[in-house]
Amino acid sequence: MSVGNDQYTKHLHALIDADTWLKTFLLFEITESARVADLVQANNFVQGLGKKGFHVCLGDFGAGAASFQYLSVLEVDVVKLDGSAVKNAQSAPKGRAFLRALTTLCKTMDVETIAEMVDIREGLEFVRDCGVEYVQGFLFEKPDADPWSFIKKIDRKLFA
């Protein structure tokens, strides 16, 4: 997406204003690889979504050099820790200390954390021990070729 494109942002806001229930299910994600040219403008976009009740996530955190700059400027609600960074932390001598420090920093900033690529129970125990609040990975659910299957599962849980 291009948060610097006024036409795009107006169209997006029109869509989300029309369907207010979306804020219950939708989390906007800004990935570190998305090379944000104007962080102030991007933060204005993030704040606008927040005022409408949406949550914004900084994704791929730890995958590149811009992570900490983005985190210090963008008023995000969630940081999604890059799966390869999480896996590397599990095997690196200082990995546990680094991940603990990172989750402590996020908590201090009132930002929740999600660890990607949690595929085995030991990985779950590792990220829990480091203070990560949420996880995603094959340990919980494998990808599904049917994009609507997730919605069907949610509908069954919400309306059962």
Confirm whether pTM is higher than 0.85: no
Overall average pLDDT of the 123-143 stretch = 91
Band of residue 115 on the pLDDT scale cut at 50, 70, 90: very high
CB-side neighbour CA atoms (13 Å) of 89 = 32
Two tokens, residue 120: 């085995």
The mean pLDDT of the chain is 86
Two tokens, residue 78: 């969630």
User: What residue type is 35 in one-letter code?
Assistant: R
Two tokens, residue 144: 């599904």
CATH of 6-159, one of 2.40.100.10, 3.40.190.10, 3.30.565.10, 3.20.20.450: 3.20.20.450
